[in-house]
Structure 1
Amino acid sequence: AMWSGLFTHLTESWNNFKGLDPDYVTWMDLMEKHGYHSQKFGKLDYTSGHHSVSNRVEAWTRDVHFLLRQEGRPTVNITGDRKLVRVMEADWRTTDKAVNWIKEEAVNLTQPFVLYLGLNLPHPYPSPYAGENFGSSTFLTSPYWLEKVTYEAIKIPKWISLSEMHPVDYYSSYTKNCTGEFTKEEVRNIRAFYYAMCAETDGMLGEIISALGDTGLLRKTIIIFTADHGELAMEHRQFYKMSMYEGSSHVPLLIMGPGVKEQQEIPNLVSLVDIYPTML
């Protein structure tokens, strides 16, 4: 939706496997046509063929008369010590590439530019311990980031019983391996680790903003921060996405730059499809 400016029923990009056609004209293509220099780094899975065969199949198994576990049980994992900042190394390498591009190339351009940086965080990490089709159910961080989270402020979501669940909710909870017993400590930890992963993501964004500031480009650059989905983090007895609940479908949309009023909140309902016309 973000790249095409069209809703799913028009592009028929129904799941992570089926995306846009390779020759689809995105907003970045149009900006190039109108004189912008463009550069992309990181996660770019808006075209078809990415992710697994499981992603291709699971969207069509909602009405079958049996249940399929498609994720490992959500869990947390602490790594490193208080000095470990770069937990998600792949995203940091991608961020470094973007920072270097800003400092070495963007600063010397004679034409306007548009830079896209796609990150995996704060997406949960793969869980190979769970076996075949293990999915991504591990919330991983270091003490450096976890110490930035205020545990006392974390709210434990209330759950209804499994028998009270709507069949669609039960299906989602089951496929995400969340129908078992979870202690309050487990739920709180999952949420805390997710917030810590968000803090690490924020650190990467800070590197981009710093690079723009160091090169004098910040004062004439518009920055847009958004995401393709949210994270339930054990709300409604689920983690991950694939739900129309607020935690899953609500994403951030932050804009800063020249001509953008500071601290302004827009109450209007917006969608990722609005990125396309906004960029143009």
Structure 2
Amino acid sequence: MAKKPNILFIFSDQHRHDVLGCAGHPLVQTPNLDRLTDWGMRFERAWTQCPVCMPCRATMITGRYTHELGFTSNVTADRGDTVDDSPFKPAWPTIMKQLQGGGYETASIGKTHYHGRPGSQEAGARGERFDTRQFGDFVKDFGWDYVMEEYDRYGHVQSHVKSPYMDFLEARGLLEAHQEQIQGIYRLTPTHWRGETSVLPQECELSSFIADHAMDWLQSRDSEKPFYLHLGFVQPHVPLMDDPIWAAYYADADIELPDMTMPSATNEVWAEKVKRLKGHSQVQTMTDDFVREGIRHYLGAVSLVDQKIGEVIDTLDKLGELDNTWIIYSADHGEMLGEHHLWAKHCFYEGSVQVPLIVSPPDRKSRGVCSDLTQLIDVVSTIAEIGQVAPPEGARGQSLLPMLERGSGGYDYVFSTIEDWTGVRNEDYRFTLHVPTETPCELYDLARDPGELNNCVEDPAYGEIVDQLKAVVLDHRAG
């Protein structure tokens, strides 16, 4: 019997769908993601099931919608030294458990975000440092044979916490400078969204550390089993930081500003959401030069992730595994990057909810670009088909493999949920409903308004469309 194929799923954090060379971005350098596209297919209209980290990541191991899993927003508070209150449940059926049962060795290297950021004040009070590796067994319970977990940079500022990357920096005498810099651009400080260039050399950057660990794992494993490797890059998630080499590359780039028309508050319910979006983005700081600098640092972070992906691909080639490895690339959500006068995500604008999605089979044949509507949960069913196992019980997505051959076959409607809001889009419209009150909040006529600038949810001419899409959302949430 022929050996089953390996599967490498590369999952970055907060990568906007159009910040790719292969998507036509005029500045960003992503030759390795472009190479993966040339070797397979890029799905240019893929929706995340939640435009924030944790709920999306729950959908990406189960294939289920966030409301079915029981939570639709992040657990953001520091949670001490316990995972008892994590919304992630090890009893869930997951794609990793299915693959283990099908003879795969499974490994997760980088960000998982199955629990809140460690922050044990109790350990600090005892004069100790809480070691995040203590969460390893919890993460393994979801179906991972090997785990090396790392967190976003906000977790690195706490002196009473230690992680693999913090140990790495400390051994090189770099931790204190790194912590001081992150503290200076921490959440909601005035320079938070403008970003900075890292004080660390490129080889010590977090993306480099995660990729190096993945390459070490690939080179040291002696198992005859096929592998499923989840490679979780933390960047380009905020704080927006590039390394010195990519910073120099983009230093003189002519950064074009996006359309910064602010969202409109159509009713009282949506006005509260818009107020929160503006507050999180610190719109009062968003001068043209400020936004250009944030975009500049973001491009550098994306290019470093791409560079490291290339090194992992080259390692597979040197090991003789590339011709038997499927490679999938995506991200948990996008980044508004100044568009609509917003940063981050938390909304259903295209920049937030649409994600890059590339599937590259071992035969390395180009299949072009698919413009049909797809969903991020489709990755779970796709991986199941590649690994010749059944999808996890309850999985809702569909395999993308048939679409690789025929180039079409997407959805009539795709869905995303955050907190009390669910968004839906079809070929013609994007609509948002506040589910508890059944209040329509957004409607964009995408054929006439592809930039999503004119919210026509209260326009009587669209009343029938609003009623139709409201029914679609309520049926989805009840299903």
What TM-score, normalized by structure 2, do the two folds share?
0.47
Q: What does residue 70 of structure 2 align with?
A: 12
Verify: 1:3 aligned to 2:3, yes or no. no
Q: What does residue 220 of structure 1 align with?
A: 324
Q: What does residue 94 of structure 1 align with?
A: 210
Counterpart secondary structure, 2:103: coil
Residue identity in the other structure for 1:223 = I
Q: What does residue 169 of structure 1 align with?
A: 274
Q: How does 1:48-127 map to 2 (within 5 A)?
A: 49-51=115-117, 71-73=188-190, 74-80=193-199, 84-86=201-203, 88-89=205-206, 91-105=207-221, 108-125=222-239
Counterpart secondary structure, 1:175: helix
Counterpart secondary structure, 1:32: helix
Q: What does residue 35 of structure 1 align with?
A: 103
Structure with bigger gyration radius: 2
Counterpart secondary structure, 2:212: helix
> Which segment drifts farther, 17-26 or 250-259?
17-26
8 Å CA contact 1:230, 1:251 repeated in 2:
yes
8 Å CA contact 1:36, 1:112 repeated in 2:
yes
**1 CA distance for matches of 2:352 and 2:258?**
14
Counterpart secondary structure, 1:194: helix
Deviations 1:123-144 (A, max 9, x none): 012xxxxxxxxxxxxx222331
Match of 1:269 among 373, 378, 387: 373
Q: What does residue 12 of structure 2 align with?
A: none
Q: What does residue 234 of structure 1 align with?
A: 338
8 Å CA contact 2:323, 2:363 repeated in 1:
no
Q: What does residue 112 of structure 2 align with?
A: 44
Q: How does 1:174-193 map to 2 (within 5 A)?
A: 174-178=279-283, 180-193=284-297
Listed as ranges, the gaps of 5+ residues in structure 1 are 54-69, 126-138
C-alpha distance 161-278 of structure 1, shift in aligned 2 (>3 A) = closer
Verify: 1:197 aligned to 2:265, yes or no. no
C-alpha distance 161-248 of structure 1, shift in aligned 2 (>3 A) = closer
8 Å CA contact 2:329, 2:358 repeated in 1:
yes
RMSD: 2.4
Residue identity in the other structure for 2:66 = T
Listed as ranges, the gaps of 5+ residues in structure 2 are 1-58, 76-85, 120-186, 385-479
Q: What fraction of aligned residue pairs are identical, expressed as a percent? A: 25
Counterpart secondary structure, 2:109: strand
C-alpha distance 4-161 of structure 1, shift in aligned 2 (>3 A) = closer
Query: Cα distance, 1:259 vs. partner?
Result: 4.1
Deviations 1:179-211 (A, max 9, x none): x14321111111111111100111221121011
Residue identity in the other structure for 1:23 = A
What TM-score, normalized by structure 1, do the two folds share?
0.78
Q: What does residue 164 of structure 2 align with?
A: none
Q: What does residue 356 of structure 2 align with?
A: 252
8 Å CA contact 1:231, 1:248 repeated in 2:
yes
Q: What does residue 450 of structure 2 align with?
A: none
Deviations 1:94-141 (A, max 9, x none): 221210111121xx432211111111111012xxxxxxxxxxxxx222
Residue identity in the other structure for 2:92 = Y
Query: Cα distance, 1:260 vs. partner?
Result: 5.5
**1 CA distance for matches of 2:234 and 2:361?**
24
Counterpart secondary structure, 1:248: helix
C-alpha distance 237-52 of structure 1, shift in aligned 2 (>3 A) = farther
User: Which one scores higher on RCO, CA 8 angstroms, separation ≥ 6?
Assistant: 2
Aligned length: 242
8 Å CA contact 1:232, 1:238 repeated in 2:
yes
Verify: 1:159 aligned to 2:260, yes or no. yes
Runs of 4+ in structure 1 off by over 4 angstroms are 150-153
Verify: 1:23 aligned to 2:91, yes or no. yes
Counterpart secondary structure, 1:222: strand
Q: What does residue 60 of structure 1 align with?
A: none
> Which segment drifts farther, 109-118 or 70-79?
70-79
Query: Cα distance, 1:271 vs. partner?
Result: 1.3
| Higher normalized strand content (fraction of residues) | 2
8 Å CA contact 1:72, 1:177 repeated in 2:
no
8 Å CA contact 1:87, 1:142 repeated in 2:
no
